[in-house]
Amino acid sequence: MEKKPVFVIHKHEATHLHYDFRLEIGRVLKSWAIPKRPSADPDVKRLAISTPNHPLSYKNFKGTIPEGEYGAGKVSIWDKGTYENLRDVSMSKSYKEGKIVICLKGKRLKGNYTLVRMKRSLQPGKPPQWLLIKMKH
């Protein structure tokens, strides 16, 4: 039986409270910072800003990142579980195309979600912005 890929959402109390949404894609956790808590309401779209990948071992991290280090502040696990890819293409290809469609199986978030990359920023050096949306059934 094939192992299901994991997701984790870290509640990150850094300079500003935000939520780090992480999906296992390949051998890393692709990551997005979400300024407001992810929503289970299909009418609410959440901004998700690409952040650097993290190693898979980070899925269980909780604790405090010391002052002076990148991301300093308290980190807790807000939700975690597994997910299914709902597209007929690989997750790596979905990520490159900017359209990820998944079914989350977490403790808090359940059901179908999409991550859609918005048009690329006209400002060089800015990370891509995505929207995290709960899909209507």
Tell me the two tokens of residue 12. 């990150």
Tell me if 32 sits within 8 A of 115, measured CB to CB: yes
Range of the domain at 111: 6-134
Q: What is the largest CA-CA distance in the chain?
A: 45
Check residues 128 and 130 and name the one with the higher pLDDT.
130
Tell me the two tokens of residue 51. 């952040």
- pTM for the model stands at 0.91
C-alpha span between 18 and 132 (Å, rounded): 14
Number of domains in the chain: 1
Asked, for residue 1, whether it belongs to a domain, the answer is no
pLDDT digits (tens, 9 = 90+) for 8-47: 999 999 888 999 999 999 999 999 999 999 999 999 999 9
